[in-house]
Chain A
Amino acid sequence: MNTHPSRPPLPSRGLALALILLAGAPTQAAAEPAPDLPFPVIERFENFGPDHGIPASKVHAVLKTTDAELWIGTWDGLCRREPSGNFRRFGPEHGLSHKMVLCLAEDQQTGDLWVGTMRGLNRVSAGRITAYTQTDSGLPNNVIYGVAVSGDRVWVATAAGAGELQLKTGTWKIYDHNNSLMHEPWCYAVTEAGDKIMIGVWGGGIVEHDPRLGSFKEHRDPDRDFHFDLVPDDGPINDITSWLAWENGVLWQCTYFGMSRYDGRNWKTWVEGKSPLLSNFTQFVWAHRGVAWIGMDRGLSVTDGITWVNYLVDDNDQGIQQIHRPNQPVEIKPMPTALANQFVLGLQVDDEEAWIATSKGLSRGILAAPTKLTRLSEATPDQRNQ
């Protein structure tokens, strides 16, 4: 069992209740938002599974499109949430290239959905699914770990390099160890980063590509050794990149050895036991308003790099919220509901809600205060005055 003395322990349900009673706070208050936090907290979770039409326990990916359609990629097909609240499945019998959906991306210009599976890339457009595979297109490999849309180009991270599909011409380019800085072409994440593309390489750190110049730049862990991280904040925590997210000039890197943040000049790294990061095994990160929502094998960590809020599930399936403020004791609260499962594989967060794909169902995180306040912030002056 991987434990570390510095990690705040998960209280049992009874102990958590006793702590709350000792503090004189009612149970209901446990999930109330902490007013001093610089980002929203999840008040409770709503969970979705087979009863809602989700065909498999394992949900790999979740995507809410700009027109508020909710899509999920599962072990057994692509699903869309219907107005009834239930999910409708699309599988190989509907034209999907493989049942196992790993990643999703939206083309915000066209509304098309791009679906990466274990055997090919798919485009969902105007109610039709078009499949691209290694043998009938320029796709580098059939296993699609990541997909991103950047302008009129679709980028894929595959087991044999990164692929770039130019939508206007239908032509493909492949980037691997032969024509880029990757010394091994095992790509596991790709994200648009302003004018650039960031490619997460498994064993090669992060490759930064500038399509305008055709240039590549490599970000590697300076100690070049996997048995330790010699110095914190000196570069990517590790060269095995499992996911990337970029927002407003800030790049977040997931690895199975901890988490990294790069602002274009400086790196910041976090490891389990020496920071509030719940686990080194980080699998997915979503960046929203400068805050990283990090999915891992032990729950969900949310941070702006300074303050952290963690969401865990204890042995009794009790949801637990940990709040780590700088230089203050950790605040631990039980939650009225828990994540569907602690093994978090995908996320999408906006000002309204957080959607969390887990290995045993889908969760919707209901944001506490921010939901009301977002509405206030988005209201017209007249509405505010009413």
Chain B
Amino acid sequence: MRRASLMLLGWLCGTLVAWGAYLERQPSAGVAPDERTLPPGAQPAAASPADFAYPYYGNTPPEMIPFREIEPHARYWIERLPFRGPGHDYPDPPDLKSLRVGLLSPAAYGPEGARGQRTRHGVLLAFEEANARRGPGQLPFELVEREDSPLWGSAANIAVEFADEQVLGFLGTIDGDATHVALRVALKIETYMINTSDPDPTLTETQIPWLTRVFPDDRQQGFRLADLVVRQHQCQRIVVFRESSRPGRVGVMHFVNYIRRLGVPPVQHLFFKPGDQQISTQLEAIKAANPDAVLFYGQPEDVGRFAAQFRAAGITARFFGFDRLMEEGFQTHAGPAAEGTTITYFFDLNRTDPPWVDFTARFEKRFGVKPDIYAAYGYDGANLMMEAIDHAGPNRFRIRDYLANLDEWSGVTGPMKFDGRWDNIAPFAIAKFREGQWHFEPPSAQPHSTGPLSRN
């Protein structure tokens, strides 16, 4: 008894001292000492790609990865972040009359409006076909459409409207800013987003496990272009000429880093404003740099106009660019200057495999024009979302599980392979403009591409 009392007194004194210290404590001014209390053997060893569950750094070739000789303190996206919240066992919403999916489109009058309409047509076709296939007892799919406005944050408000409309998931959009803010809302409303058209590499770097992107991003194009410009064409004096905008900045960001890591930093990196006509200052600087390669990033009409001005000024460098230069506006504005331009592109539009041929025929029959990649990825994204709903039922959390755990999927755009950030890392093709036409080259082999991903 006495011993027990002494023990109790000792415990009480110890607790009093500890609690007193806690009450009196002030935050220390210096750095706290290392608090690690790891069991023996837990120190990190140098990691190799074989240790990773998913391709590191968006499948970037090892020689283009930053700090590649150093084991970083922490790596991300070598495994997928799980969602640990509740909801998988929540009952289905009562009295459902349809299975609702949101579609966030860019403003029709904005710079991405026409592409947004093409995406919308692909999505509409997917919904019409899916609903035509519904059997007895199956609820129809319903598309809840909203159009963004070119104001920062507008897409956030629209994503909240999707929650109010009780959609089971949503699709969208092209503009990186809008997709970013909608994604953050997606985390709060716990509703999955499939992105079908935003090339912003930073979109999926936000670590929000409520997004799959079926549209291969500008990082993928960046390392393919870097390989093409520096290794295949042995260019040494590379100029980057890009739109002064957020898409322009994040679009070429990785290309610039990649060529620098290959030992060939850009000799000039200059900007233009969308719609600029007069670029004499930049032109003089670029001419003085005596480039052997120019990489363009911007709207195809702008780039076409500048390509023509470059040639007229006597610049003989090879022209390179991203996928958008395949749009008609580039060759229309470039004229003969388009000849020889080389770009990265998602896949060969002249593919003859049945899924692509059948899709193009159905799309042309429905809308009177051939589909482009926005329509095709919109169609695939919509079908993937509807597949997830059919598989998981009308439960947003189980839909998330289905989509976020997907490693591969195949649509009319070809086989997709998703990495640890839920990005489609299917390799890019190359297209060259010769004699008034684009000619495709198949994707080259890439590291970590363990499955057959060629679309040609």
Hey, which bits of chain A sit against chain B, CB under 8 A?
A: 1-2, 5-6, 8, 33, 35-40, 57, 60, 98, 100, 102, 118-119, 134, 140-143, 145, 158-161, 176-177, 184-186, 188, 202-203, 223, 225-233, 240, 247-250, 256-258, 261, 263-266, 268, 271, 273-276, 279-281, 289-291, 297-298, 303-308, 324-330, 341-343, 351, 359-360, 369-370, 373-374, 376-377
Contacts and interface: CB of A to CB of B under 8 A. Distances in A.
Interface size class of B (residues with CB under 8 A): 35 or more
Interface of B: 11, 14-16, 18-23, 25-39, 42, 44, 56-57, 66-67, 70, 72-77, 79-87, 90, 151-153, 156-157, 160, 163, 177, 180-181, 184-185, 188-189, 202, 205-208, 246
A176 B74 contact: no
A327 B22 contact: no
28 contacts: A35-B18, A100-B160, A100-B163, A118-B189, A141-B153, A141-B156, A159-B153, A159-B181, A161-B152, A176-B152, A186-B184, A188-B184, A203-B202, A223-B72, A226-B207, A228-B76, A230-B70, A231-B73, A240-B207, A258-B74, A263-B28, A263-B31, A274-B44, A280-B76, A280-B207, A341-B86, A342-B84, A359-B86
Contacts of B32: 261, 268, 304-306
For B20, B37, B38, the residue with the greatest tally of chain A CB atoms inside 10 Å of its CB is: B37
Contacts of A188: 184
A343 B72 contact: no
A269 B17 CA distance: 29
Given A118-B185, A271-B74, A377-B23, 10 more contacts: A2-B79, A5-B42, A186-B180, A227-B205, A263-B30, A289-B23, A289-B25, A290-B26, A298-B84, A330-B39
Contact of A256 (B87, B185, B206): B206
Nearest to A160: B153
Contact of B86 (A249, A273, A276, A343): A343
Contact of A274 (B73, B156, B208, B246): B73
A373 B72 CA distance: 44
Contact of B157 (A36, A134, A359): A134
A370 B79 CA distance: 40
A202 B206 contact: yes
A62 to B, nearest CB: 16
Contacts of B83: 297
Contacts of B90: 57
A230 B21 contact: no
B206 A228 contact: no
Nearest to B29: A263
The 6 nearest A-B residue pairs measured at CB: A160-B153, A6-B42, A305-B32, A35-B14, A159-B156, A228-B72
Contacts of B66: 225
A248 B26 CA distance: 8
Given A36-B14, A266-B31, A271-B74, A325 B37 contact: yes
Given A263-B29, A290-B27, A325-B37, A2 B157 contact: no
Contacts of B184: 145, 159, 186, 188, 202
A119 B25 CA distance: 40
A123 B156 CA distance: 22
Nearest to A233: B31
Contacts of A266: 30-31
A333 to B, nearest CB: 16
Nearest to A275: B36
A279 B209 CA distance: 14
Given A6-B42, A33-B15, A373-B16, A226 B205 contact: yes
A308 B26 CA distance: 17
B76 A227 contact: yes
Contact of A247 (B27, B28, B181): B27
B85 A119 contact: no
Given A35-B14, A343-B85, A143 B160 contact: yes
Contacts of A276: 35, 37
Given A265-B29, A297-B83, A160 B152 contact: yes
A330 B37 contact: yes
A159 B36 CA distance: 36
Contact of A232 (B20, B73, B151, B185): B73
A281 B72 contact: no
Contacts of A141: 152-153, 156-157
A188 B173 CA distance: 21
A258 B267 CA distance: 37
Contacts of A184: 177, 180, 246
B22 A142 contact: no
B82 A119 contact: no
A158 B22 CA distance: 36
A36 B18 contact: yes
A229 B67 CA distance: 11
B156 A143 contact: yes
Contact of A250 (B27, B36, B163, B205): B27
A384 B347 CA distance: 80
A370 B160 contact: no
B37 A359 contact: no
Nearest to B36: A275
A319 to B, nearest CB: 16
Contact of A281 (B28, B36, B207): B207
Given A33-B15, A188-B184, A265-B29, A256 B73 contact: no
A308 B35 contact: yes
Contacts of A247: 27
B31 A307 contact: no
B130 to A, nearest CB: 30
A227 B18 contact: no
B44 to A, nearest CB: 7
Contacts of B20: 373, 377
A160 B181 contact: yes
Contacts of A134: 157
B75 A38 contact: no
B80 to A, nearest CB: 7
A213 to B, nearest CB: 24
A263 B72 contact: no
A256 B74 CA distance: 13
A230 B22 contact: no
Contact of A6 (B38, B79, B202): B38
